[in-house]
Structure 1
Amino acid sequence: MITHVVFFKLKDRSPEAIKVTYDVLKNMDGKIPVLRHIEVGMDVLHQARSYDIALITKFDSLEDLQVYDEHPVHVEVKAHMKQVLDGTSLCVDFES
């Protein structure tokens, strides 16, 4: 299994803006067949070093992760993220 973890820091760090992006990410649930697990969390500490949202997804293989990356639903999510991100995201992919 491959676990894909991404941290996002948004330009607009208001609770309302964070919730919109949270919903965009959660909306992938059940819409991408290779996506075995999705968890989306919003930061609760709100410190300067904090990221606003964490995304944890799981796939059966690296090939499935690639399929996910190119899936139309995920492509729409990436377009949204380009609009709202404050810089780049952080990502770790590992075998689990």
Structure 2
Amino acid sequence: MVRHIVLYFLKDKSPESKEALKQKFLSMKGKIDVLKDIEVGVDFMQSPRSADVSLTCLFESKKDLEIYAEHPVHLPVKQYVQQVAERSISCDYEI
């Protein structure tokens, strides 16, 4: 299994912006076969070192993560993220 975690730092820090991104991510649930699980969190600490939104996905293999990255359902979400996120950091690992 492979876990894919991304932390997003948004341009607009408003609750509405964070919720909109959360809903974009959750819109993929059940639409991409290789995406076994998805969890989205919105940070409540709002400390200087906090990310705004986290995305955690589960895949059966590295290959499935690659398929997800180019999946037609994921691509518009990725484009949206590129518009609203200032930056992101990720970690992908096997479990």
Would you say same fold, with TM above 0.5? yes
**Unmatched 5+ stretches in structure 1:** none
Paired residue secondary structure (1:8)? strand
1:49 deviation in Å? 1.1
**Normalised by the size of structure 1, how large is the TM-score?**
0.96
- 1:1-16 to structure 2, matched below 5 A, reads 1-16=1-16
TM-score after normalising by structure 2: 0.97
Give 2:80's aligned residue: 80
In the alignment of these two chains, the number of paired residues is 95
Q: Which runs of 5+ in 2 are unaligned?
A: none
Please name the residue that 1:65 is paired with. 65
Moved over 3 A (4+): none
Q: How far apart, CA to CA, are the structure 2 residues paired with 1:23 and 1:46? A: 20
Aligned positions of 1:44-59 closer than 5 A: 44-59=44-59
C-alpha distance in 2 between matches for 1:12 and 1:41: 16
Partner residue of 1:43? 43
Q: Higher strand fraction: Structure 1 or Structure 2?
A: 2
State the Cα distance separating 1:48 from its structure 2 match. 1.5
Residue in structure 1 matched with residue 88 of structure 2 by the alignment: 89
Q: CA offset at residue 47 of structure 1?
A: 1.0
Q: How far apart are the structure 2 equivalents of 1:49 and 1:19?
A: 20
**% identical aligned pairs:** 43
**Partner Cα distance (1:82, 1:6) in 2:** 13
